[in-house]
Amino acid sequence: MTTQPLLDASGVAKNYGAVAALRDASLRVRPGEVHALMGANGAGKSTLVKILTGAIRPSAGRILIRGEARPLGSPAAARRAGLVPVYQEPSLIPDLDIADNLRLTGTPVAPFRDWVRALGVPDLDLRDLARDLPLAVLRVLDLARALSLEPDVMLLDEMTAALPANLAERVIEVVRGEVKTGRSVIFISHRFVEIAALCDRATVLRDGETVGVVDIVPGIEERIVEMMLGARVEKTRVAAAARDAQASSGPPRLSVRGLAAGSKLEDVSFELANGEVAGVVALEGQGQDELFAALAGSIRPSRGTIAVDGEPVVFGHPADAIAQGIAYVPGDRTEALLMQRSVRENIALPFSARLRSWGPLAVGRERGLVSAAIERLQIDTRAQREVQRLSGGNQQKVTIARWIAADARTILCFDPTRGIDVRTKREIYRLLRELAAQGKSVLYYTSELEEVQRVCDRAIVVFGGRVVDVLPVEIADEAALTRAAYGLPREAASLPASPSGATP
Amino acid sequence: MSRFLRRQGWVAGLFVLFLALLVVTRLIQPGYGAADFGSLARAVLPYAFAVAAQTVVVLAGGIDLSVAAMMALTSVTAAALMAGASEEFALAVVPFVLALGFALGAMNGALIVVSRVPDIVVTLATLFMLQGAALLVLDAPGGGAAEWLKALIVGTVPIPGLPGAVTDWIPKALVVLVICLAVVWIPLRRSRLGLSLYAIGSSDLAAFRSGVPVARTKILAYALGGLFAAMGGLTLTMSTGIGAPIPGPYLLASVAAVVLGGVALGGGRGGLLGPIIAVFVLRLVRTDLTLLAVDPNVTTIIEGVIMVVVVMLGALVAMRGRTP
CB contact under 8 A, B211 and A101: no
- B282 vs B239: CA distance, rounded Å: 20
| B125-159 tens-digit pLDDT | 999 999 999 999 999 998 889 889 888 888 888 77
- B275 vs B284: CA distance, rounded Å: 14
pLDDT mean over B190-198: 90
Point out the domain boundary residue: A180, A212, A229: A229
CB contact under 8 A, A76 and B269: no
Strand, coil or helix: what is B266?
coil
Residue B133, chain A, CB below 8 Å: the answer is: no
Average pLDDT in chain B: 90
Checking if the pLDDT of B319 tops 70, the result is no
Residue B189, chain A, CB below 8 Å: the answer is: no
CB contact under 8 A, B198 and A76: no
Query: Residue B310's pLDDT is what?
Result: 79
Segments in chain A below pLDDT 50? 1, 232-236, 238-239, 241, 243-247, 355-356, 492-504
* H runs (alpha helix) in A124-164: 135-148
CB contact under 8 A, A95 and B207: no
Provide the residue range defining the domain that includes A459.
Answer: 254-351+363-486
Q: Is A1 domain-assigned?
A: no
Whether residues A73 and A120 share a domain: the answer is yes
CB contact under 8 A, B3 and A94: no
| B44-72 tens-digit pLDDT | 999 999 999 999 999 999 999 999 999 99
For chain B, the residue count is 324
Q: Which of A90, A94, A96 sits opposite B195 (nearest CB)?
A: A96
Whether residues A454 and A407 share a domain: the answer is yes
Whether residues A22 and A166 share a domain: the answer is yes
Q: Using a CB-CB distance cutoff of 8 angstroms, which residues of chain B are in contact with residue A95?
A: 198, 201-203, 268-269
Whether residues A223 and A271 share a domain: the answer is no
Q: What angle do CA B108, B191, A129 make, to 5 degrees?
A: 95
Query: Residue A386's pLDDT is what?
Result: 75
Query: Residue A499's pLDDT is what?
Result: 43
Q: Is A235 domain-assigned?
A: no
- The answer to whether B101 and B70 are in contact (CB under 8 A) is yes
Whether residues A209 and A95 share a domain: the answer is yes
- Interface probe with B: pick from A83, A93, A96, A101, most Cβ of B within 10 Å: A93
Whether residues A273 and A147 share a domain: the answer is no
Whether residues A186 and A329 share a domain: the answer is no
- B13 vs B20: CA distance, rounded Å: 10
- % residues pLDDT > 70 (chain B): 95
Number of domains chain A contains:
2
Q: Using a CB-CB distance cutoff of 8 angstroms, which residues of chain A are in contact with residue B193?
A: none
- The answer to whether B323 and A132 are in contact (CB under 8 A) is no
- A146 vs A149: CA distance, rounded Å: 5
- A387 vs B162: CA distance, rounded Å: 72
Whether residues A435 and A290 share a domain: the answer is yes
Q: For the whole model, what pTM was predicted?
A: 0.74
Query: Residue A501's pLDDT is what?
Result: 40
3-state secondary structure B63-99: CCCCHHHHHHHHHHHHHHHHCCCCCCHHHHHHHHHHH
Query: Which segments of A96-207 are extended strands (E)?
Result: 153-157, 184-188, 201-206
ipTM value, please give it.
Answer: 0.79
Whether residues A289 and A178 share a domain: the answer is no
Q: Is A30 domain-assigned?
A: yes
Give the phi and the psi of residue B244 in degrees, each rounded to 5. Answer: -115, 125
CB contact under 8 A, B203 and A76: no
Q: Which residue has the higher pLDDT, B243 or B4?
A: B243
Closest to B272 measured CA to CA, from B57, B69, B41: B57
CB contact under 8 A, A104 and B269: no
Q: Is A496 domain-assigned?
A: no
Residues in CB range of A373: below 8 A, 6 or more apart: A347, A401, A402, A404, A405
CB pairs under 8 A between A and B: 57
Q: What angle do CA A55, A57, A58 make, to 5 degrees?
A: 130
Q: What angle do CA A221, A189, A223 make, to 5 degrees?
A: 15
Q: Is A407 domain-assigned?
A: yes
Q: Which residue has the higher pLDDT, A208 or B223?
A: B223
- A192 vs A502: CA distance, rounded Å: 11
Four-CA torsion A311, A313, A318, A319, nearest 10 degrees: -60
CA distance A412 to chain B (A): 33
- A343 vs A402: CA distance, rounded Å: 10
CB contact under 8 A, A101 and B210: yes
Burial class (CB in 10 A: 0-12, 13-18, 19+), B179: exposed
Whether residues A307 and A224 share a domain: the answer is no
Q: Is A27 domain-assigned?
A: yes
Q: Is A248 domain-assigned?
A: no
CB contact under 8 A, A91 and B202: no
Q: Is A303 domain-assigned?
A: yes
The CA–CA distances, whole Å, from B320 to A450, B14, B324 equal: 47, 19, 7
Q: Which of B3, B192, B206 sits opposite A93 (nearest CB)?
A: B206
- Interface probe with A: pick from B2, B197, B203, B265, most Cβ of A within 10 Å: B203
What are chain B's domains? 10-322 (1.10.3470)
HSE value, Cβ hemisphere, 13 Å, CA-based, for B196: 20
Whether residues A139 and A281 share a domain: the answer is no
Kindly report the CATH number assigned to the domain that includes residue A158.
Answer: 3.40.50.300
- DSSP element (H, E) containing A257: strand A254-261
Checking if the pLDDT of B189 tops 60, the result is yes
Whether residues A63 and A122 share a domain: the answer is yes
Burial A442-474 (b: 16+ CB within 10 A, else e): bbbbbbbbbbbbbbbbbbbbbbebbbbbebebe
HSE value, Cβ hemisphere, 13 Å, CA-based, for B291: 18
